[in-house]
Amino acid sequence: MDDDYRGSGLTFPDGFLFGSATASYQIEGAATEDGRGPSIWDMFSHTPGRVVHGHTGDIACDHYHRLDEDLDLMQQLGLQSYRFSIAWPRIQAAGTGPANERGLAFYNRLVDGLLERGIRPIATMYHWDLPQALEDEGGWTSRDTAYRFADYAHHLGEALGDRIAMWTTLNEPWCSSFLGYGSGAHAPGRTDGREALTAVHHLNLAHGLGLQALRTSVTRPGTEYSATLNFHVPRPAPDTADESTAEAMRRIDALANRSFTGPMLRGAYPEDLLADTAAVTDWGFVRDGDLATIHQPIDVLGVNYYSTVTVRMWDGVSERVRADGHAASAGSAWPGSDEVEFLQQPGPYTAMGWNIAPEALEQLLVSLHEQFPGLPLMVTENGAAFDDRVVDGRVPDTDRIDFLRRHFTAAHRAIERGVDLRGFQVWSLMDNFEWSYGYTKRFGIVRVDYDTLERTPKDSAHWYAELIRTRTIPA
């Protein structure tokens, strides 16, 4: 096979789950309907200057009202699984108390609609839409939020736990903590390194408590439990001293990756992480017993992957480069490691400016398999934004097909190398609200016309449908 990862004719094993992913705030709209309370993303997007063009999720793709149409679309594409998230403020408007039956009714319809169409439901409990009322009490810097999350998880288990095939506690807690409380690029937009690290721990605690609560209320036999992390894949900077780049790679791996895999999968925060951040916090918010609570068995580790970072230690003299792929903002996403430089990387790039590096997906999956032998993996997000064009009612998104071909090839290579990879959920089923970029970045395999809300499967959707039907990467 060519080394450019443009594979074809590669067949995936039986049982490998081909699906697609979305998240509640990015697609649902209906922001004030049926008892939904405000989330930190409602507050943030309605604050001038936070999101490009002042875009909000008020209407988004109007999925809340177009559920049946969207379910039919998934069926037409032949999706075998659908990864969606549940909006906490639909279930508990202020993040506490009894479950809101009208909110639950929507997810009941969604789950039943998936099962009727033979599509396996993969539910994420938290994809960033924290009830604003909890943020007002401290948000993820407050330990209590982790306990509120456990109550919420218990409600979800009781209501949906007879049908959901796989539960994911958190999506990308790195973004929730470091972009939400450190850099401020994401809601709630706070910019304090100590708060970011406090949020890391309370998110980890929520993961553990949430799993415990789910397990007491879920009834479906064979239900699987997982968490989804966005791994940063650090690469050495060329023409840089080995020690500088090795130190930078170690620091970024500690902050971005091992601050979650450490407690969740090994039951401890890495010593080097504690040392790197010692000037920011003494981690006094970690209480006796917390690590045992966090270290719950999981069945699958969800892996979100888009691109790499190239790092070295800043020399203290030249202008510091900060091309870490995350939207620029007031604070830092790297508390304790601000002297790491993120270099501009060679292309090609997607419309996000992210470099396209399928080989790093293979490398990541193999590395996780080696770090955590016996732990099944699933690609829970991978995909690309491009500036799509509509031509005679069609969307010829050849860039996206090429991107997907190369990343499915990478996934296939990882399987050949012995990785227990259970599936691949393409981000995203449809164009949607891309956080601080609003509606300016299109990740969908289905186009959404934001004036009419009409859905049009792009060429990539047809390509993916053929991959799913044949289990083989099309020529």
Q: Using CB under 6 A as the criterion, which residues of the chain lie in contact with ligand FCB when the complex forms?
A: 23, 26, 171-172, 175, 230, 304, 381, 427, 434-435, 443
By beta-carbon proximity to ligand FCB, the closer residue of 161 and 302 is 302
Is residue 341 among the annotated active site residues?
no
By beta-carbon proximity to ligand FCB, the closer residue of 204 and 240 is 204
In 3D space, the residue among 446, 467, 466 whose CA is nearest the CA of residue 458 turns out to be: 446
What stretch of H or E contains 447? strand 446-448
In 3D space, the residue among 206, 178, 187 whose CA is nearest the CA of residue 129 turns out to be: 187
Q: Are strands 455-457 and 446-448 parallel, antiparallel or unpaired?
A: antiparallel
CB 322 to ligand FCB: min, Å:
18
- Which member of 28, 172, 195, 362 is catalytic? 172
What stretch of H or E contains 340? strand 340-343
The per-residue DSSP string of 30-89 comes to -TTGGGPPPBHHHHHHTSTTSSGGG--SSSTT-TTT-HHHHHHHHHHHT-SEEEEE--HH
Is residue 69 among the annotated active site residues?
no
By beta-carbon proximity to ligand FCB, the closer residue of 23 and 130 is 23
Report which DSSP code applies to 317: S
CB 230 to ligand FCB: min, Å:
5
CB 439 to ligand FCB: min, Å:
12
Q: Terminus-to-terminus CA distance in the chain, angstroms?
A: 13
Return phi, psi of residue 171, to 5°. -100, 120
Structure tokens at 341: 């430089």
In 3D space, the residue among 68, 127, 126 whose CA is nearest the CA of residue 432 turns out to be: 127
CB 313 to ligand FCB: min, Å:
26
Helices (H), 161-304: 173-174, 193-217, 242-252, 259-261, 271-276, 290-294
CB 27 to ligand FCB: min, Å:
10
Give residue for tokens 């479950």. Answer: 99
By beta-carbon proximity to ligand FCB, the closer residue of 218 and 448 is 448
CB 196 to ligand FCB: min, Å:
16
- Which member of 28, 362, 381, 434 is catalytic? 381
By beta-carbon proximity to ligand FCB, the closer residue of 78 and 325 is 325
By beta-carbon proximity to ligand FCB, the closer residue of 84 and 435 is 435
> 167 - beta bridge partners?
123, 225
User: Which residues are known catalytic residues?
Assistant: 172, 381
